[in-house]
Amino acid sequence: MSDIWTIMWKEWKDSLFQGWRAWIRPGLLIGILGIIWPVLGKSAWMDLSVIQMVVILFFTFFVIISIVADSIAGERERHTLGTLLASRISDRAILLGKVTIVALYGWGIMVVGLFLGALVSNLADWQGQFVFYPIDMVLFTLLLGLLVGALGTILGVLISLRMATVRQAQQTLMIGTIVLGVAVIGLVQLLPKDFFTTFTLDEILLMAAGLVAVLDVLLLGFTLARFQRAKLILS
């Protein structure tokens, strides 16, 4: 466990927040999610509809794929991958540390933006009392945000393993995101017509969370099997 924390701290210090410029990106992202959208939406933003949830989840996924390409390909470009792999830290700890910190980074931005958005929306359209999101919707947003973020992180690390440069990894991830989006839309279209009337919204969101969680576990297991020190050193 201590090795995982070591990798998380390394990623936090060396990649995610290296210098003051590194704070610009999360600041802009939090500003979009926590200020601009709530001001434009005003009180309607507090409804936290399914469409809003999808937008927030896509936003979180996009944040993550924009930085996760650096996880392995960036180390390879900076010629630090060999040093990392030569350490006593196990392959599993390296992978889990990188996945965990990036997933939490993206999820943390979403959480800050979501709760800042509640404050800004109330200030922009004050109705005499503080209005908060529907509890069930905000809990599902937080849960799905974490699971979707983990999916994007694991997928990004898997792709970054095979790419020589960060640019190549980012381009592949962008294409993969488009394909994934089309696949999700196609899956929804294939559902029975009475699906959305048979189940409640909470039940549908719970099934979606379960499906993403299963995908996370399967993809993480596959990535752990692919993350082999000997092959990476030779690459």
What sign results for the dihedral spanned by CA atoms 189, 190, 194, 197? negative
Q: How many angstroms separate the CA atoms of 20 and 24, rounded?
A: 7
Residue 17 has pLDDT above 70, yes or no: no
Give the residue, 25 or 91, on which the prediction is more confident: 91
Residue 147 to residue 57: CA distance in whole angstroms: 10
Where is mean pLDDT largest: 89-98, 122-131, 132-141, 177-186?
132-141
Task: State the Cα torsion 214-215-217-223 to the nearest 10°.
Answer: 170
Q: How confident is the model at residue 20 (pLDDT cuts 50, 70, 90)?
A: low
Q: How far apart are CA 26 and CA 191, in angstroms?
A: 37
Q: Which of 11-20, 123-132, 148-157 has the highest mean pLDDT?
A: 148-157
- Token duo for residue 119: 């404050």
**Spatial distance between the Cα atoms of 16 and 22, rounded to a whole number of angstroms:** 7
> How far apart, in whole angstroms, are the C-alpha atoms of residue 34 and residue 217?
31
Helix segments in the chain, DSSP class H: 2-11, 24-31, 37-41, 50-68, 73-77, 81-85, 91-124, 135-162, 166-190, 195-198, 201-226, 229-234
Q: Which residue has the higher pLDDT, 100 or 193?
A: 100
- What average pLDDT does the structure give for the chain? 83
Give the residue extent of every domain in the chain. Answer: 2-234
Give residues with Cβ within 8 angstroms of 76, minimum separation 6: 164, 165, 235
> Is the pLDDT at 230 greater than 70, yes or no?
no
pLDDT of 32 > 70? The answer is yes
Q: Which of 132, 136, 154 is nearest to 144 (CA)?
A: 136
Residue 134 has pLDDT above 80, yes or no: yes
Q: pLDDT tens digits, residue range 100-121?
A: 988 998 899 899 999 998 898 8
Mean pLDDT of 70-87: 77
Report the phi/psi class of residue 161: left, alpha or beta, with left for phi > 0 and alpha for psi in -120 to 50.
alpha
Read off the pTM. Answer: 0.86
- Residue bearing the bigger pLDDT, 207 or 89: 207
Compute the distance between CA of residue 60 and CA of residue 74 in angstroms, rounded to an integer: 21
